């Protein structure tokens, strides 16, 4: 049946996941704990500013990157635009 | 989740222009492809709009794994809306991301290339594996992993070819550093693969018509 993966498919997928997971963990162990920007700067050997996320920021470790106020503004703008388009074009 | 997290000024102006020019050529090709279609499916446009909103939002959320990473849903975009419309989706996401300070404006061209490669590879692998993997979950997951792996290779190639201003390391040291970075990225790709597989399976179960070639 379409959409349902068989046992063989699951096994192959699990093996691929395991191989990728082991490689990723090894890369993480070698490179160490750091944020995305910091990891980039470390990989290239450049000293950047503000690469480290402030401790305890965000909610349960999840945080919004970039500028949260602008982010909220853009999302609100998009919502208004979509609503306007929805009403105007009677989608 | 390959994305070149470098500020403006990291690449020389020459390479910024080169990557932008190639990216614009790809966008033009996508535009021609979409315009040449007799009729664009409205459902696909709606799906593309949802993909743009969801991917833009998830792109900005730092997940507390491997020191802080983010997903980008490009494989899902490729599988759901295809490479032509998918190219527009990733263009919009990259522009909006640069607008809020997530990646430089000059990096949009290079990042667009990386993301378009992810979209195209996911689309191609998902369809190519249909006979070997009739089930959508494993096929979607493998397509996502393959696409993100290619995206990481493209990211490494672009950085190595362009060179980064102010870097004192040799190309082999940069390659080693970027390989580790790509390795960590692939850890996040596992999460993305599982999410892609789950969403594709769900869509096929409730609305198989949205994935035209998956109809029973």
| Residues of chain B neighbouring A46 (CB-CB closer than 8 A) | 164, 166-167
Is B186 within 8 Å of chain A by CB?
yes
Give me the phi and psi of B63, to 5 degrees please. Answer: -95, 130
Angle at A81 between CA A78 and CA A84, to 5 degrees: 150
Query: Which residues face A62 on adjacent strands?
Result: A59
- Closest CB from A5, A21, A43 relative to B178: A43
**B67 neighbors A39 (Cβ within 8 angstroms):** yes
Residue whose C-alpha is closest to residue B104's, from B7, B1, B4: B7
- Closest CB from A5, A36, A70 relative to B5: A36
Q: What is the pLDDT of residue A4?
A: 63
**B76 neighbors B117 (Cβ within 8 angstroms):** no
Is A63 within 8 Å of chain B by CB?
yes
**Mean pLDDT: which of A32-41, A63-72, B34-43, B175-184 is highest?**
B175-184
Radius of gyration of chain A from its Cα atoms, rounded to whole angstroms: 21
ipTM of the complex: 0.82
Read off the DSSP letter of residue A59.
Answer: B
Distance CA B205, CA B130 (A): 16
Distance CA B121, CA A47 (A): 34
pLDDT at residue B115 above 50? yes
Do residue B190 and residue A44 have CB atoms under 8 angstroms apart?
Answer: no
**B78 neighbors B123 (Cβ within 8 angstroms):** yes
**CATH code 3.40.50.920 for B13-214:** no
- Closest CB from A13, A33, A40 relative to B181: A40
Q: What is the pLDDT of residue A20?
A: 94
Do residue A26 and residue B183 have CB atoms under 8 angstroms apart?
Answer: yes
Is B134 within 8 Å of chain A by CB?
yes
Tokens of B104: 């430089």
Encode chain A (91 residues) as per-residue pLDDT tens digits: 455 667 888 899 999 999 999 999 999 898 888 877 788 888 888 766 544 455 555 666 677 777 778 878 877 888 898 788 778 876 5
Q: What is the pLDDT of residue A1?
A: 46
**B119 neighbors B29 (Cβ within 8 angstroms):** no
Mean pLDDT computed over every residue of chain B = 89
Distance CA B31, CA B99 (A): 23
Do residue A45 and residue B169 have CB atoms under 8 angstroms apart?
Answer: yes
pLDDT at residue B100 above 90? no
Q: What is the pLDDT of residue B169?
A: 85
Percentage of chain B with pLDDT > 70?
97
Is A51 within 8 Å of chain B by CB?
no
In the numeric block, the tokens 């990557």 are attached to B19
Do residue B180 and residue A30 have CB atoms under 8 angstroms apart?
Answer: yes
- Looking from the CA of B170 toward its CB, the CA atoms found within 13 Å total 2
Tokens of B43: 């459902």
**Mean pLDDT: which of B108-112, B171-175, B206-210 is highest?**
B108-112
- The helix (H) or strand (E) run that includes residue B17 is helix B13-36
**Mean pLDDT: which of B117-121, B132-136, B205-209 is highest?**
B117-121
| Residues of chain A neighbouring B60 (CB-CB closer than 8 A) | 64-66, 71
Q: What is the pLDDT of residue A9?
A: 86
Q: What is the pLDDT of residue B16?
A: 93
pLDDT at residue B193 above 60? yes
């Amino acid at each position: 049946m379409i959409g349902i993966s068989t046992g063989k498919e699951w096994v192959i997928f699990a093996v691929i996941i395991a191989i990728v997971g082991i490689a990723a963990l090894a890369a993480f162990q070698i490179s160490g704990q750091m944020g995305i920007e910091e990891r980039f700067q470390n990989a290239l050997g450049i000293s950047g500013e503000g690469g480290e996320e402030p401790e305890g920021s965000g909610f349960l470790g999840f945080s919004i990157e970039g500028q949260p106020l602008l982010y909220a503004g853009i999302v609100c703008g998009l919502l208004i635009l979509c609503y306007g388009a929805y009403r105007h074009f009677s989608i | 989740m390959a994305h070149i997290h470098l500020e403006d000024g990291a690449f020389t102006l020459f390479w910024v222009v080169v990557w932008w020019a190639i990216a614009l050529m790809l966008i033009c090709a996508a535009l021609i492809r979409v315009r040449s279609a007799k009729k664009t499916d409205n459902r696909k446009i709606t799906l593309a709009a949802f993909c743009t909103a969801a991917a833009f939002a998830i792109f900005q959320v730092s997940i507390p794994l491997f020191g802080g990473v983010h997903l980008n849903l490009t494989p899902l975009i490729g599988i759901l809306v295809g490479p032509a419309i998918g190219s527009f989706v990733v263009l919009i996401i990259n522009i909006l991301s640069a607008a809020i300070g997530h990646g430089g404006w000059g990096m949009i061209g290079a990042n667009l290339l990386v993301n378009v490669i992810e979209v195209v590879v996911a689309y191609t692998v998902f369809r190519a594996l249909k006979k070997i993997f009739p089930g959508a979950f494993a096929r979607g997951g493998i397509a996502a992993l393959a696409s993100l792996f290619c995206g990481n290779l493209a990211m490494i190639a672009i950085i190595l070819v362009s060179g980064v201003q102010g870097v004192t390391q040799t190309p082999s040291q940069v390659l080693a550093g970027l390989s580790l970075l790509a390795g960590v990225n692939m850890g996040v790709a596992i999460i993305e693969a599982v999410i892609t597989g789950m969403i594709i399976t769900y869509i096929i179960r409730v609305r198989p018509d949205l994935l035209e070639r998956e109809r029973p």
